[in-house]
C-alpha cells in the first residue's frame, strides 16, 4: 500500500521539477492532503516495523522526501502576526484557521 501511495503521488507530480522550485513560492500541486500524509505516515511506520524499507526504490524514497520537505517548508513562510486594526473577527478567524491547517499539515509531513 505504501508503494502504491508513493507511486500515485509521484505520478501526479511528474511534470513538477522539485529542484527548481523556489523555496519562497511552493507550488500548490506539491502540497499533499492531510489524508495522504496520514496514510504515508501510517504505512511507513508499518514498513519500518517490518524492516523492509530496503526493498523500496531509494530514488523514489528520495523524491518522496523532497516532496515532504516542501510540505514542511510550506508553513515556515506563514506570518502569524495578524493586523488587528484592519481585519474583522470573521476574517481574523478564517486567517487563523488557514494558518493552523497549513501548520498541521507541515507537522504531519514531519512525522511521515
Burial (Cβ within 10 Å: 0-12, 13-18, ≥19) of residue 109: buried
pLDDT exceeds cutoff 60 at 81: no
Q: At what angle do helices 34-50 and 2-12 cross, to 10 degrees?
A: 140
Domain ranges of the chain: 2-111
pLDDT in tens, 20-39: 655 567 888 888 988 999 99
pLDDT exceeds cutoff 70 at 86: no
pLDDT exceeds cutoff 60 at 17: yes
Say how far apart CA 12 and CA 20 lie, in whole Å: 17
Say how far apart CA 112 and CA 94 lie, in whole Å: 27
Neighbours of 98 (CB within 10 A): 11
Q: Strand locations in 1-112, DSSP E? A: none
Amino acid at each position: 500500500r505504501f508503494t502504491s501511495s508513493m507511486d500515485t503521488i509521484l505520478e501526479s507530480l511528474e511534470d513538477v521539477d522539485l529542484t527548481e522550485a523556489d523555496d519562497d513560492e511552493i507550488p500548490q500541486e506539491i502540497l499533499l492532503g492531510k489524508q495522504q500524509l496520514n496514510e504515508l505516515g501510517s504505512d511507513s511506520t508499518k514498513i519500518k516495523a517490518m524492516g523492509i524499507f530496503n526493498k523500496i526504490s531509494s530514488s523514489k524514497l528520495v523524491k518522496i522526501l523532497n516532496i515532504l520537505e516542501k510540505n514542511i517548508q510550506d508553513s515556515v513562510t506563514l506570518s502569524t502576526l495578524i493586523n488587528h486594526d484592519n481585519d474583522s473577527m470573521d476574517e481574523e478567524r478564517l486567517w487563523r484557521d488557514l494558518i493552523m491547517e497549513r501548520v498541521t499539515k507541515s507537522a504531519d509531513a514531519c512525522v511521515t
